[in-house]
Amino acid sequence: MAAVCGRFLEPAVVRGLAQASAARPGARCRYFSSSALLRANSGEPPKFQPPPKPVIIDKSKVVVERRFLSPEFIPPRGRKDPLKYYIERIDMIRRRKVLNIPEFYVGSILSVTTADPYASDKTSRFVGICIQRGGKGLGATFVLRNVIEGQGVEFCYEIYNPRIQEIKVLKLEKRLDDNLMYLRDALPEYSTFDVNMKPVPYSPNDEIPVNQLKVKMKPKPWSKRWERPYFNIQGIHFELPEEIMEEAQKLSQPWIKFDMLREYNTSELEKKIWNEVNEKLKK
């Protein structure tokens, strides 16, 4: 209805204003540019002033600043005193002020430089895809995987280890799963990443792209039976016969998602910790 009114209002408004300005040529009209003013001030013909560019506020696309709290800040469910996690968080924030630990997810490609006493230039650099993020507090780890000269290599780095000198995100993206351990049984092309690849730029406010890639696997046997519903893997293109898939589905436990004892709602905790962490990081 507003749109309909708008369509009818605009010419009417314009006509009305035109009439008003025509009636009183010296009158200042807010809806037009300062051409009327110039006309009023001096008798010379006014310079052409282009009308001001319209400011289009597209309210359908709301820009929300992405709030990312690293998962190791959220304490696990348990009986430990929250003071212990608070003390650990203080140390984690101190380390983050010295070393920039960027936001990354499982599926992003990172490059990590660590201090190595046995290397010639005392540093060692490794590039790989993050397949797992584990641990809470100061002992949080992430595993990077790459295939170097045909050999699959995995490195488990501790995020707060003082030997780490630089963590760089070369490609920030998410995958369909939280845990990409199945890449060990996938074809090696899915785990190979160029060691000298150029970082892909990303803006801090964009949504993180989710890579919908479905990975093809090596022939069975695998290290784990990834087709089983316990792992809940979305990112594998299973080419197994249907009988095996049906047998696997027999082991599904659909009642688990209704189990209230397994619920762990961290939203309140996350908000508090987010505020606390941000305040301290700004200091």
Task: Please state, in angstroms and rounded to a whole number, the distance separating the CA atoms of residues 229 and 260.
Answer: 20
Looking at 133-141, 173-181, 216-224, 237-245, which segment touches another protein (CB under 8 A)? 133-141
If the CB atoms of residues 77 and 97 are measured against another protein, the closer one turns out to be 97
Using CB under 8 A, which of 20, 28, 116, 209 touches another protein?
116
Minimum CB separation of residue 166 from another protein in Å reads 9
Q: In whole angstroms, how far apart are CA 12 and each of 7, 79, 87, 234, 268?
A: 9, 70, 67, 58, 53
- Contacts of 73-81 with C-beta under 8 Å, sequence gap 24+, read 73/273, 73/277, 74/136, 74/266, 74/269, 74/270, 74/273, 75/136, 75/137, 75/269, 76/136, 77/264
Minimum CB separation of residue 118 from another protein in Å reads 9
DSSP 63-93: --------GGGSPPSSSS-HHHHHHHHHHHH
If the CB atoms of residues 118 and 264 are measured against another protein, the closer one turns out to be 118
| Of 159, 154, 102, residue with least CA distance to 129 | 154
Number of residues that bind another protein (CB under 8 A): 29
Minimum CB separation of residue 130 from another protein in Å reads 20
The pair of structure tokens assigned to 4 is 């309909």
Using CB under 8 A, which of 99, 147, 176, 208 touches another protein?
99
Using CB under 8 A, which of 134, 162, 188, 209 touches another protein?
162
Task: Please state, in angstroms and rounded to a whole number, the distance separating the CA atoms of residues 34 and 147.
Answer: 67
Using CB under 8 A, which of 117, 201, 204, 221 touches another protein?
117
Using CB under 8 A, which of 12, 27, 66, 91 touches another protein?
91
| Of 223, 221, 215, residue with least CA distance to 244 | 221
Minimum CB separation of residue 117 from another protein in Å reads 4
**Does 156 sit near another protein (CB under 8 A)?**
no
Minimum CB separation of residue 171 from another protein in Å reads 24
Task: Please state, in angstroms and rounded to a whole number, the distance separating the CA atoms of residues 108 and 174.
Answer: 6
Q: Which of residues 48-87 bind another protein (CB under 8 A)?
A: 78-81, 83-84, 87
The pair of structure tokens assigned to 204 is 């801090």
Minimum CB separation of residue 115 from another protein in Å reads 5
Minimum CB separation of residue 106 from another protein in Å reads 22
Q: Give me the torsion for CA of 8, 10, 12, 16, rounded to 10°.
A: 170
Using CB under 8 A, which of 98, 221, 242, 283 touches another protein?
98
- Give me the residues that bind another protein (CB under 8 A), please: 78-81, 83-84, 87-88, 91-92, 94-95, 97-99, 115-117, 122, 137-139, 158, 160-165
